């Protein structure tokens, strides 16, 4: 396991995949917080005012989290945050499914005809959570920008 946790290529792949998922997911929501608010409202879990605040800030947190992972800057923080966010999203999706809500996920696009919530989404999220936890405890830094910056500053 220790060997796996320090495998630079595996870490790079997981970082880029997970980071891109967050970046892609964030763009449409960041550009259109009003429809993201509606998506959150559809889950019927939070008061509207709270949903509006979440819709305002969450896409940007997702975007930064994705960028951090892709470029390997503050990877630990990005990985911890992504596992926490995905955990919360998964709970929301499961609760919607258990309550029989027929709603769109609001995960990647705000188009109501795409991406209905389903158990596939739950499985997808669990895989991404596993990847996040792996990255949190990973030790390889070969392809991260942070490492290159720190090695340059220590050289001077």
Partner 1 sequence: MSYTIRQALREAAFIVATGSALGLVYTGVTGQGIFGVHGSVQAGNTPSEEYAPEFVELEEAVGFFKSGDALFLDARHEFDYDLGHIAGALNLPLKEFEEKKSLLSSLPKDKLIVTYCDGQECNSSLELGLKLSAAGFSNVKVFFGGWRDWESQNNPAERTVQ
Interaction site with partner 1 (CB under 8 A): 30, 32-35, 37-39, 42, 48-49, 52-53, 55-65, 68, 74, 76-81, 84, 103-104, 110, 112, 136-137
Nearest approach in angstroms of CB 104 to partner 1 is: 5
Nearest approach in angstroms of CB 49 to partner 1 is: 5
Render 72-123 in DSSP notation, one character per residue: TSSHHHHHHHHHHHHHHHHHHHHHHHHTT---B--SS---TTS-B--HHHHH
Rounded Cα–Cα distance for residues 1 and 14 (Å): 16
Nearest approach in angstroms of CB 13 to partner 1 is: 20
Cβ-Cβ contacts under 8 Å for 17 (sequence gap 6 or more): 131
User: Residue 97 or residue 112: which is nearer to partner 1 going by CB?
Assistant: 112
User: Residue 32 or residue 95: which is nearer to partner 1 going by CB?
Assistant: 32
Asked if residues 105 and 115 have their Cβ atoms less than 8 Å apart, the reply is yes
Asked if residues 51 and 39 have their Cβ atoms less than 8 Å apart, the reply is no
User: Residue 100 or residue 156: which is nearer to partner 1 going by CB?
Assistant: 100
Cβ-Cβ contacts under 8 Å for 101 (sequence gap 6 or more): 42, 43, 44, 117
Nearest approach in angstroms of CB 106 to partner 1 is: 8
User: Residue 123 or residue 148: which is nearer to partner 1 going by CB?
Assistant: 148
């Amino acid at each position: 396991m220790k060997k796996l946790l320090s495998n630079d290529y595996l870490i790079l792949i997981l970082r880029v995949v997970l980071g891109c998922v967050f970046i892609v997911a964030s763009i449409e929501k960041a550009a259109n917080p009003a429809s993201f608010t509606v998506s959150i409202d559809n889950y019927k879990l939070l008061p509207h005012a709270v949903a509006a605040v979440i819709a305002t800030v969450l896409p940007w947190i997702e975007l930064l989290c994705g960028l951090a992972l892709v470029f390997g800057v503050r990877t630990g923080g990005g990985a911890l945050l992504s596992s926490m966010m995905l955990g919360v999203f998964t709970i929301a999706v499961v609760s919607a499914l258990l309550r029989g809500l027929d709603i769109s996920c609001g995960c990647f696009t705000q188009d109501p005809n795409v991406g209905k919530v389903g158990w596939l989404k739950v499985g997808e999220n669990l895989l991404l959570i596993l990847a996040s936890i792996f990255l949190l405890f990973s030790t390889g830094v070969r392809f991260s920008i942070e490492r290159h910056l720190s090695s340059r500053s220590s050289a001077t």
